[in-house]
């Protein structure tokens, strides 16, 4: 129908029809004027899985940081009294705990029960095991990330001989099997410091060094690739023309633009280190002198213990699974939130 033949009522109805907005322009208006961090946080807050995983991770962090305080609130500790006070009788050669499920009633004195044979409180060992696992994994992640970022920055920005040498070391460390290296280094360190008064601390420090030594290469490769693309950008070229020193270009111009890949690398490295710490302790080459989830699993992973008192194994195992799964899912959500090409 043409405008000449259309009546006034038809023209009025046509003019009153709402204009359809382009979805892309509407999204552009929503994010206009916002920093990349605010945009990423907005995406994360709308992701229900990410919110649930963040709450779970926060719960484990609180348990790790306030392990001693929470233990005091429940009246439990790592100190074990006489085992005869908590275990009684033999069941296929295993002294059964007299309190806590499944063999006894629930009690607030030992909410998660006690360990067979020794009578150690399961809650206290679970809380302090969470602290040790997160502490070792976090410190190792920070050290590995710092080394990887520095190596990646230097290799990507300087190029030439420096890039070839650093890339050679990255590839060389990638070819070394981590488990074989850990099995080789752990006995040497244990024999060297076995008689030391600070053996437990030295053991944790050695484990952090081993994890960081074989965990920085992925971050270095990722940062190197990003720097190779960024160093040709106009703001980097302008900084070099102005005569800025290399250190200022690296840490003032390039590093702020690498926040997204660094966060992604950390979010993927942390859960892997949590699982590795527990696995090495289970194999007897991690934290063997002290409290650890892996050590508890090692004690509980016997047919008699698992058959007669399964919760002794399930408690630390479920803690590791919940923490690692939440960290992995949260890391994926952070990666999607920081990726400008992701549409949600």
Alpha-carbon distance of 200 to 287, in angstroms, equals 8
- The answer for 7, left when phi > 0, alpha when psi is -120 to 50, beta otherwise, is beta
Alpha-carbon distance of 113 to 123, in angstroms, equals 7
Which tens digit of pLDDT belongs to each residue from 189-200? Answer: 767 776 667 777
Is residue 179 in some structural domain? yes
Whole-model pTM: value is: 0.81
Is residue 37 in some structural domain? no
CATH number at residue 158: 1.10.3720.10
Domain that holds residue 194: 50-78+121-338
Which tens digit of pLDDT belongs to each residue from 118-176? Answer: 777 888 889 998 999 899 999 999 999 999 999 999 999 988 899 999 999 999 999 98
Alpha-carbon distance of 48 to 28, in angstroms, equals 23
If one compares 269 and 181, the residue with the highest pLDDT of the two is 269
Which tens digit of pLDDT belongs to each residue from 224-279? Answer: 999 998 888 888 888 888 888 888 888 888 888 888 889 888 988 999 999 888 88
Is residue 148 in some structural domain? yes
Question: Nearest Cα to 94, choosing from 334, 315, 344, 303?
Answer: 303
Confidence of residue 289 (pLDDT cuts 50, 70, 90): low
Element (H, E) at 269: helix 259-283
Is residue 115 in some structural domain? no
Q: How much is the mean pLDDT over the chain?
A: 79
pLDDT of residue 344: 46
pLDDT at residue 109 is higher than 80: no
DSSP letter, residue 321:
H
b (16+ CB within 10 A) / e for 181-203: ebeebbeebbeebeeeeeeeebb
Q: Check: CB of residue 284 under 8 Å from CB of residue 298.
A: yes
Which tens digit of pLDDT belongs to each residue from 142-151? Answer: 999 999 999 9
Element (H, E) at 71: helix 67-74
pLDDT at residue 94 is higher than 60: no
pLDDT of residue 54: 92
Is residue 104 in some structural domain? no
pLDDT of residue 191: 72
- Average pLDDT on 67-77 reads 86
Is residue 168 in some structural domain? yes
Is residue 111 in some structural domain? no
pLDDT at residue 60 is higher than 90: yes
Is residue 198 in some structural domain? yes
Confidence of residue 23 (pLDDT cuts 50, 70, 90): low
The domain tally of the chain equals 1
Alpha-carbon distance of 185 to 180, in angstroms, equals 9
């Amino acid at each position: 129908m043409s405008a000449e033949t259309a009546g006034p009522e038809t023209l009025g109805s046509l003019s009153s029809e709402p204009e359809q907005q382009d979805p892309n322009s509407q999204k552009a208006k929503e994010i206009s004027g916002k920093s990349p961090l605010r945009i990423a946080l907005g995406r994360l807050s709308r992701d229900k899985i990410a919110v649930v995983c963040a709450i779970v991770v926060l719960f484990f962090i609180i348990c790790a940081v306030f392990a001693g305080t929470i233990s005091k609130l429940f009246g439990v500790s790592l100190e074990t009294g006489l085992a005869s006070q908590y275990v009684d009788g033999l069941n296929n050669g295993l002294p059964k705990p007299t309190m806590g499920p499944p063999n006894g009633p629930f009690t607030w004195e030992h909410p998660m029960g006690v360990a067979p044979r020794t009578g150690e409180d399961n809650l206290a060992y679970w809380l302090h095991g969470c602290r040790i696992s997160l502490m070792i994994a976090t410190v190792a992640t920070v050290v590995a990330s710092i080394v990887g970022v520095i190596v990646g920055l230097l290799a990507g920005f300087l190029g030439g001989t420096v890039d070839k040498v650093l890339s050679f070391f990255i590839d060389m460390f990638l070819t070394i099997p981590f488990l074989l290296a850990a099995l080789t280094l752990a006995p040497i360190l244990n024999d060297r410091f076995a008689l030391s008064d600070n053996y437990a601390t030295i053991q944790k420090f050695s484990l952090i060094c081993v994890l960081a030594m074989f965990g920085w290469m992925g971050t270095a490769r990722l940062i190197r690739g990003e720097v190779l693309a960024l160093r040709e950008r106009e703001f980097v070229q302008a900084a070099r023309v102005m005569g800025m020193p290399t250190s200022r270009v690296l840490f003032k111009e390039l590093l702020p633009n690498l926040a997204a890949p660094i966060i992604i690398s950390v979010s993927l490295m942390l859960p892997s280190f949590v699982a590795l710490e527990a696995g090495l302790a289970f194999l007897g080459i991690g934290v063997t002198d002290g409290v650890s989830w892996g050590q508890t699993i090692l004690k509980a992973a016997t047919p008699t213990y698992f058959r007669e008192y399964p919760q002794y194994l399930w408690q630390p195992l479920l803690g590791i699974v919940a923490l690692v799964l939440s960290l992995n899912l949260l890391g994926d959500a952070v990666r999607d939130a920081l990726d400008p090409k992701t549409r949600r």
